[in-house]
Amino acid sequence: MNTVTSMKCACESCLCVVNIGEAIAQNGKYYCSHNCADGHPKGESCGHDGCNCH
């Protein structure tokens, strides 16, 4: 049996892969940043290099 330890951020426009143990868990989904988890209320990206999510 294999255990998932990382997955793509739950934000649709985000390109980041997050470690589940370090991710921000919200509503059963895993996010790479508070901006993604909160739905980008101010239009700011996650801030990670190479990702321009919104």
- Domain interval for residue 32: 6-37
Q: For residues 11 and 53, is the Cβ–Cβ distance under 8 A?
A: yes
pTM for the predicted model, two decimal places: 0.90
Q: For residues 31 and 8, is the Cβ–Cβ distance under 8 A?
A: no
What is the pLDDT, as a whole number, of residue 6? 96
Number of domains in the chain: 1
Place of tokens 């990702």: 51
Please state, rounded to an integer, the average pLDDT across all residues of the chain. 96
Residue 48 inside a domain? The answer is no
Residue 25 inside a domain? The answer is yes
Residue 15 inside a domain? The answer is yes
What is the pLDDT, as a whole number, of residue 1? 82
Q: State mean pLDDT over 25-41.
A: 97
What are the C-alpha distances in Å from 47 to residues 5, 28, 50, 52?
A: 22, 23, 9, 8
The predicted-structure confidence for 37-48, as pLDDT tens digits, reads as follows: 999 999 999 999
Q: For residues 23 and 34, is the Cβ–Cβ distance under 8 A?
A: no
Residue 36, both tokens? 């993604």
